[in-house]
Amino acid sequence: MFAGFALDHIDVGDVVLRVRHGGEGPPVLLLHGHPRTHATWHAVAERLAEHHTVVCPDMRGYGGSSKPKPVRDHSAHSKRAVAADCLALMNTLGFERFAVVGHDRGSLAALRLALDHPTAVTALTVGDSIPVSEHLVRCDETFARKWWHWFFFAQPDKPERAILADPAAWYGGTPEHMGPEAWEDYQRAIADPDTVRGMLEDYRAGLTVDRDHEEADRRAGRRVECPVMVMWSTRDDLKELYPDLEGIWRGWTTGKPRMVPIESGHHMAEEAPGEVADALRGFLADVGVRG
């Protein structure tokens, strides 16, 4: 897994991030989703590393990265804090400008990075995601039935107790599906109480401070200025919930986003790494982020 990549723990100020990095060429930052670690990207990263320098951290609260103490307003786990971590990480590695790719919760952090630090981000790719405020303004019976975990995870203490009673049963996943090394890394993460608390704080931030930040962006008229690609898993339910996925994302961009379906279930980097890597390589080449 991650052949030819270095594994480091890098101090970025508030936290220390566990990060894999390798390859040569224009830099690309890959941000994982819940409940994964950076290892979810291993098969994609190895393909991209032929023409790009690829950086895969565990976000704060996840995997082997620092677990900040929760605070009342959940700002210690906000996407703004994650974005600042990522900017500091890339600067520490010597990159002032870079492309960023996020999946699931990582897409929210990637969006925040592009909005808060537009001069740093050369291209943005999001997967299986729309801005959290767009979910909430559209929240209906279907969303509540399919994505009920958002509201359960927001409750104090009880989600931690439910998950930690049997993490493997709660989250699922198999070594055949994920790759044996990635699965082992994931198993360690979901069985760790501090990591579970950190992952839940991510969701608590989403329904509070993250939503506030996005609504402030909309009032100020801020949009993503760099080229944007939106990927979605055809065997997941995002497009079912939001048939006008392109229209939603056009409201957050200054240009027209590239829309790319991926033939997979939700964890596209594990289920369809070749298709994901091909889409990323094509997009980055077309917008001038070439290897």
pLDDT, tens only, 28-84: 999 999 999 999 999 999 999 999 999 999 999 999 999 999 999 999 999 999 999
φ, ψ (nearest 5 deg) of residue 97: -130, 140
- Which residues are catalytic, by number? 104, 266
C-alpha separations of 229 from 5, 132, 261 in Å: 26, 18, 11
**Range 6-286 has CATH code 3.40.50.1820:** yes
**What rounded mean pLDDT belongs to the chain?**
96
User: To which H or E segment does residue 7 belong?
Assistant: strand 6-11
Taking phi over 0 as left and psi of -120 to 50 as alpha, with beta for the rest, 43 belongs to alpha
φ, ψ (nearest 5 deg) of residue 151: -85, -30
Q: Does residue 289 carry a pLDDT above 90? A: no
Query: Beta strand 53-57 with 258-262: parallel, antiparallel or unpaired?
Result: unpaired
Q: Report the candidate in 57, 48, 58, 56 with the shortest Cα–Cα distance to residue 23.
A: 48
Rounded Cα distance, 191 and 94, in Å = 34
φ, ψ (nearest 5 deg) of residue 89: -60, -50
Give the 3-state secondary structure of residue 18: strand
| 118 prior amide bond cis, ω within 30 | no
Q: Report the candidate in 255, 274, 256 with the shortest Cα–Cα distance to residue 264.
A: 274
And the tokens for 32?
């994982």
Identify how many contiguous H helices and E strands the chain contains and give both numbers: 16, 8
pLDDT in tens, 118-166: 999 999 999 999 999 999 999 999 999 999 999 999 999 999 999 999 9
Mean per-residue pLDDT for 7-24? 97
Q: Is the distance from CB of 284 to CB of 44 less than 8 angstroms?
A: no
The amino acid sitting at 159 is P
CB burial string 243-275: b at 16+ within 10 A, e below: eebeebbbebbeeebbebebebebbbbbbbbeb
Rounded Cα distance, 159 and 235, in Å = 27
**Alpha helices, DSSP H only, in the chain?**
42-48, 79-92, 105-116, 132-137, 141-146, 149-153, 158-165, 167-171, 175-178, 180-190, 193-205, 211-220, 238-241, 245-250, 268-271, 273-286
Residue 291 confidence class, pLDDT cut points 50, 70, 90: very low
Q: Report the candidate in 108, 137, 128 with the shortest Cα–Cα distance to residue 237.
A: 128
Measured at the CA of 134, the angle between CA 235 and CA 127, to 5 degrees, comes to: 35
Q: Does residue 7 carry a pLDDT above 80? A: yes
Q: Is the distance from CB of 85 to CB of 109 less than 8 angstroms?
A: no
Q: Does residue 290 carry a pLDDT above 80? A: no
**Prediction pTM value:** 0.98
Residue 288 confidence class, pLDDT cut points 50, 70, 90: confident
With a pLDDT cut of 70, the percent of the chain lying above it is 99
pLDDT at residue number 177: 85
